[in-house]
Chains A and B, each alone.
Chain A
Amino acid sequence: AQSVTQPDIHITVSEGASLELRCNYSYGATPYLFWYVQSPGQGLQLLLKYFSGDTLVQGIKGFEAEFKRSQSSFNLRKPSVHWSDAAEYFCAVGIYGGSQGNLIFGKGTKLSVKP
């Protein structure tokens, strides 16, 4: 069955430090991969997506992610974290077949930023 694993429930980093959030997926075909961010009380906002092509994907707010097929991973990175990046981050894999679309989400990683 398809699944997405985000092994870290909560991460705390210092402002200005680098960040890497892990995501592993299980899916038999070529995946469509997404990272979303959710601020408290808000809906989800797309940070970046991977469909095909270059395995290093650039997103908004200075985030990037790298697709590694051999490791079934799609880790999110940012070289220098800002206090406004404190939020919850969700990795998702798109499952598409026929005329149906479905996003399978991980449980999320909550990011705290300390001054």
Chain B
Amino acid sequence: ETGVTQTPRHLVMGMTNKKSLKCEQHLGHNAMYWYKQSAKKPLELMFVYNFKEQTENNSVPSRFSPECPNSSHLFLHLHTLQPEDSALYLCASSQGYTDEAFFGQGTRLTVV
């Protein structure tokens, strides 16, 4: 248990659906991240939030929409996804942006 909890663990959605991924950390960290892990590709940083402010968006398509209502919670809202968006989505947090990141177990997303 790393202190970072992601729900759901698995999600199957159609291309016209809207769903949200949730991440919660009880570590008192100030920075939170979304990563995408696809088969045969390196982990890709998607979004960074530092003190609830988005500080990085790595050219992620607008069909992915992050939300950080407070420093303990991070959401990733999904709509009109494509099959190539199927991947493991990992949430992480760190005390500060130069500190080690603690990862959740991920949400395995399948787009059909």
Contact = CB atoms under 8 A, between A and B. Distances in A.
B100 A101 contact: no
- Interface majority SS on A: helix, strand, loop or mixed? strand
B105 A42 contact: yes
A4 B43 CA distance: 11
B13 interface: no
Contacts of A100: 48, 50, 55-56, 97
B103 A45 contact: yes
B98 interface: yes
Interface in B7-61: 31, 40-43, 45, 48, 50, 55-56
Size class of the A contact interface (CB-based, 8 Å): 20 to 34
A49 B48 contact: no
B42 A101 contact: no
A44 B100 contact: no
Interface of B: 2, 4, 6, 31, 40-43, 45, 48, 50, 55-56, 90, 92, 94, 96-98, 100-106
